[in-house]
Amino acid sequence: MSFEVRYTDLAARIGLLNTPHGILETPAFIPVVHPVRQAISPQYLKKLGFRAVITNAYITLRHHGNEAKKKGIHNIINYDGIVMTDSGGYQLLEYGSLNVEPAEIAQFEKDIKSDICIPLDEPTGYKLEYEKAKERVEQTLKNAKETLALISEHSTTKDITDDAIWVGPIQGGEHLDLITYSANALDKIGFELFALGSPVELMEAYEFSMLGQMIVAAKRAIPTKPIHLFGAGHPLTIPFAIALGCDMFDSASYMLYAKDNRYIHTNGTSRLEEISYLPCPCPICSSYTVKELLGMDRDNRVTEIAKHNLYILKAEVCAVKQAVMDGRLWEYIMQKARSHPKLMEAMAIFKNFELIEEGTPLFKEKAIFLYDPVDQYRPEVKRFRRMVSEFRPRGKKKLILYPEPRVHPFYSTKDYFQIVKKIPDAQICAYNPFLGVIPVEISDIFPSSHNLFKPMAWHSAKEYVAFSESLNTFLSTNPFEEIIIVADHFMRQVVDHEDDNSAVKKLNPKIIDYRQDIIFRL
């Protein structure tokens, strides 16, 4: 299997996955297609730009049997793009048991020439007690191992690109250690593409925090491997999961929501009966009013809403990809987070997930935007503060700290020239709530001269814990004897909040109130 990563931002990646039916650009949303009844044809999905669809091998086996083996799944569903097949594990979750063996379904998926195949898994679902969840994880691992052994034994193709990709199904539910165990074991068995199952209940309940923790547990075990998230078809879940490192998603949400008159929009879903306008430029919303949609017969209405829902899901994935290319995925995710308090709460995960920093480019062409306390944890800013903690001024005993001017880098400002002229032997640093202390020597390194932030007076210092840490570390690790702090409203609060044992208080700095004419006040 080949998976080539082209661009990254946070833990998101734009990649190319090679399959027997062509290259799938990821992140990709893969619509669920029923192998027998199709209200929306797979050809229409292709026209909309969906390069892959997923269908159910178990239902195909029951309805089409040998005919599917003869014709192949692509002909059965009339789709010449990439076809992924689910094994029926989800039906197992719904009906309790399936009348099929893992080897039988695996052989069938191979025979119908599916491009991306999932072995028979036993989804843990959500809120299953630990021991039972563990049993299902073990059973899924056993099935997966047998499946892979069977497939490699009978594999006749020499060219690896002709071979279907087999997916390692990670289970464990909210038991994070089971997820780690499951992912590591599947990796060891030899899987190269993984799928995290099946937190649909979590997503429906907007439990983004738990979903995020599950993704993080899986990603930490298999950080470089491509990972699919089962059942993700919501416009808030998709960007969140992509930012945490998921590469593929499948869902029937577009259709399930439509059957329930649920209209997807960029920040959630609404019932058609509860809205007055269709805030979407897709062909369906451009052709009808809410009233006209509600007046249609049910089948037509479901199809039209489902089509609209697909437009939105496609646009969502494209918007996230463009944000990756622009280096603005953090800004994008934070905008999304304002759509729902539970998503905002889940943003705590982004503070300490190391893969977020690894995936964020060292340099970006565009300035980053900083608004709120959560932005003190964005990877570019954390990286800069770490650089400052290792910065050592050469032989300077005096320190001058003053609020960062709007002009970047600040050594090109008149204020800076005048300070240097007046106190040539001082170490001069600016500061802002996000980056902390900015020594002039590194003030043109990204992102210190490539950021825009809300006026400092708008920020409450006690929410900027990282600023205080950065300041105290800088003062305690460098041998300054004389410190002058030109304090604006923000810095005043910082100094007032420090306790007597802090480096700031111990060094007893001279504090002058900031005004425009700082030079005359030093």
Question: How far from each other are the two terminal CA atoms of the chain, in whole angstroms?
Answer: 65
Report cis status (omega within 30 of 0) of the bond before 409.
Answer: yes
What single-letter amino acid sits at 320? V
Is 326 part of the annotated catalytic residue set? no
User: Please, what is the minimum distance in Å from the beta carbon of residue 47 to Zn ion?
Assistant: 16
Binding residues for Zn ion (CB under 5 A): 280, 282, 285, 308
- Give whichever of 276 and 501 is closer to Zn ion, judged by the CB atom: 276
User: Please, what is the minimum distance in Å from the beta carbon of residue 281 to Zn ion?
Assistant: 7
- Give whichever of 39 and 282 is closer to Zn ion, judged by the CB atom: 282
Give the list of residues 6+ apart from residue 149 with CB closer than 8 angstroms, or none.
none
Q: Which two tokens stand for residue 252?
A: 């029937």
- Give whichever of 285 and 333 is closer to Zn ion, judged by the CB atom: 285
- Give whichever of 238 and 381 is closer to Zn ion, judged by the CB atom: 238
- Give whichever of 5 and 282 is closer to Zn ion, judged by the CB atom: 282
The residue among 103, 169, 98 whose CA lies nearest residue 136 is 169
User: Please, what is the minimum distance in Å from the beta carbon of residue 258 to Zn ion?
Assistant: 12
Is the separation of the CB atoms in 163 and 2 below 8 Å? no
Q: Which two tokens stand for residue 223?
A: 């950080």
Report cis status (omega within 30 of 0) of the bond before 479.
Answer: no
User: Please, what is the minimum distance in Å from the beta carbon of residue 334 to Zn ion?
Assistant: 25
CA distance linking residue 294 with residue 297, whole number of Å: 8
User: Please, what is the minimum distance in Å from the beta carbon of residue 48 to Zn ion?
Assistant: 12
Residue 451 bridge partners (DSSP): 368
Q: Which residue has the tokens 């989800």?
A: 90
Give the list of residues 6+ apart from residue 514 with CB closer than 8 angstroms, or none.
402, 403, 486, 487, 488, 491
Instruction: Tell me phi and psi for residue 51, to 5 degrees.
Output: -80, -15
CA distance linking residue 117 with residue 410, whole number of Å: 56
CA distance linking residue 271 with residue 322, whole number of Å: 29
User: Please, what is the minimum distance in Å from the beta carbon of residue 320 to Zn ion?
Assistant: 18
- Give whichever of 149 and 282 is closer to Zn ion, judged by the CB atom: 282
CA distance linking residue 180 with residue 135, whole number of Å: 15
Q: Which residue has the tokens 């199809």?
A: 303
Instruction: Tell me phi and psi for residue 521, to 5 degrees.
Output: -105, -10
User: Please, what is the minimum distance in Å from the beta carbon of residue 221 to Zn ion?
Assistant: 39
Containing 388, the helix (H) or strand (E) segment is: helix 379-389
CA distance linking residue 80 with residue 62, whole number of Å: 22
- Give whichever of 282 and 374 is closer to Zn ion, judged by the CB atom: 282
Count of CB atoms situated within 10 Å of the CB of 341: 11
Active-site annotation holder among 86, 121, 250, 375: 86
The catalytic residues are 86
